[in-house]
Chains A and B, each alone.
Chain A
Amino acid sequence: MRSHEKSTRIAVVTHERDLHAYAVKAEMERRYPAQVQILECDHFSAAPGLSWSPDEKIEAVLPAVGGDAVRPQELDAVWFRRLANSRTSANPEVTDPAHRELICTDTSGAALGALLTEFQGRWIDHPDASYTAQNKLVQLRAAHRLGLRLPATLISQSPDRIRAFCDAHPATIVKAVNGVVQAPAATIPVGRELLDDDAAMRVCPAIYQELVPGRRHVRVQVFGDRVLAALLESDDLDWRPNLNIPAVPHRLPTGIEDALRAVLRALGLTMGIFDLKITDEGEYVWLEVNPQGQWLFVEGMAGLPLIEAFTDFLYGEATR
């Protein structure tokens, strides 16, 4: 443990009842001279609320869980996890969906602006980098340029091009470019029903990819230089809907670890949660990176010490 004259101050920007945030706060305050404040952006209507002014005559403050006023300029690090929550339980007295959306959108915008203008410490990770890296096209291009093996991929809403792609790759999957939390969709095989439905293909772009066969899925947590991977075994194409599956710690080949770190550097990130798949021939295939993806469940399923590892990483970044 490094010793510091004053307690290191860290804020987690997230939504209500984020177990990741609470687990890391407890671990951090138990092991390090640090104070972690949780900023639940969907509950900013609680006192003292958010305030900011362009001339700085009014002190910028954000409300933390427990009612503390957090001054962004006093923070050493911000773990920028989540900014909005369309499913929040906050403000139940507001029932008009448009009003609820306004509260979500305007609170997010004000919180982000207050942090971008006032906070001078370490971002984990900077919003610009996180949002850009979240884009599947950007990350696919980065992974391709860095030599990772990708499934053959087409992002399109052209029925002719999609059918030609599927003809060339007889086993093909379709998945969302972004998706919506109101109706999450699993990755599914492309079937005849879709290929005969021009309107469905044309109405918006989707990701069409060569299906990677096999049942060995890998979830990789990269926190700084540290890489912690778990092997999830599932016959399902998309393991996310059923987490009642075998999961064990997994050691990646050094070349894959290095390649994933290189992707993060290229995307301007210090952390990332990757999804890979191992083919029957033992080759690692890139699927995606989630800049602030969920990782806590991997500790629960595979026993990897992720809370401890992330806490070490976050404290290290905050005190650099």
Chain B
Amino acid sequence: MTVDTTVRPAIYVGQERMALAPAPKLAAWERELIERLDLEWDLHTIESMHPNETISGSGGDWDDCDYRKP
């Protein structure tokens, strides 16, 4: 949404995109869960994720956008 545009859809008037705040307690719980599950990858270094996005949460619009019909 950093592209210059003369018309932006209504939901973007007044906001660029959802600004995520850090959630350190939830992130710590996720790290503990990952360790408990013995997963080898570090989920908190996924390049495509916003640094403040949690992996089990809803902050990235996972609820709404991620499973549209092919």
A17 and B69 in contact (CB under 8 A), knowing A200-B9, A244-B25? Answer: no
- State the CA gap A22–B36 with chains docked (Å): 11
A292 close to B (CB within 8 Å) = yes
Interface size class of B (residues with CB under 8 A): 35 or more
Q: How many residues of A contact B (CB 8 A)?
A: 61
Mark out the residues of chain B between 12 and 42 whose CB falls within 8 Å of any chain A CB in the assembled complex.
Answer: 12-26, 29-30, 33-34, 37, 39, 41
**Out of B17, B55, B56, B66, which one reaches A82, CB within 8 Å?**
B66
Mark out the residues of chain B between 48 and 70 whose CB falls within 8 Å of any chain A CB in the assembled complex.
Answer: 48-49, 54-70
Identify the closest chain A residue to B38 (Cβ). Answer: A26
A242 and B21 in contact (CB under 8 A), knowing A17-B46, A23-B37? Answer: yes
**Out of B7, B21, B30, which one reaches A203, CB within 8 Å?**
B7
Total CB contacts across the A-B interface at under 8 A: 168
Query: Which residues of A lie under 8 Å from residue B55 when comparing CB positions?
Result: 17, 19
Contact B70 A273 (CB under 8 A): no
Stretch touching chain B among A45-53, A141-149, A171-179, A254-262: A171-179
Contact A241 B11 (CB under 8 A): no
Contact A193 B13 (CB under 8 A): yes
- State the CA gap A296–B29 with chains docked (Å): 11
Majority secondary structure of chain B interface residues (helix, strand, loop or mixed): loop
Minimum-distance CB pairs A-B, first 7:
A184-B61, A296-B56, A108-B70, A300-B29, A297-B57, A87-B48, A243-B23
- State the CA gap A237–B23 with chains docked (Å): 17
Contact A81 B67 (CB under 8 A): yes
Residue ranges of B at the interface with A (Cβ–Cβ < 8 Å): 1, 6-26, 29-30, 33-34, 37, 39, 41, 43, 46-49, 54-70
Contact B18 A185 (CB under 8 A): yes
Identify the closest chain A residue to B23 (Cβ). Answer: A243
Q: Which one of A83, A184, A241 has the highest number of Cβ atoms from chain B below 10 Å of its Cβ?
A: A184
Contact B14 A15 (CB under 8 A): no
- State the CA gap A127–B17 with chains docked (Å): 29
Query: Which residues of B lie under 8 Å from residue A105 when comparing CB positions?
Result: 70
Contact B11 A15 (CB under 8 A): no
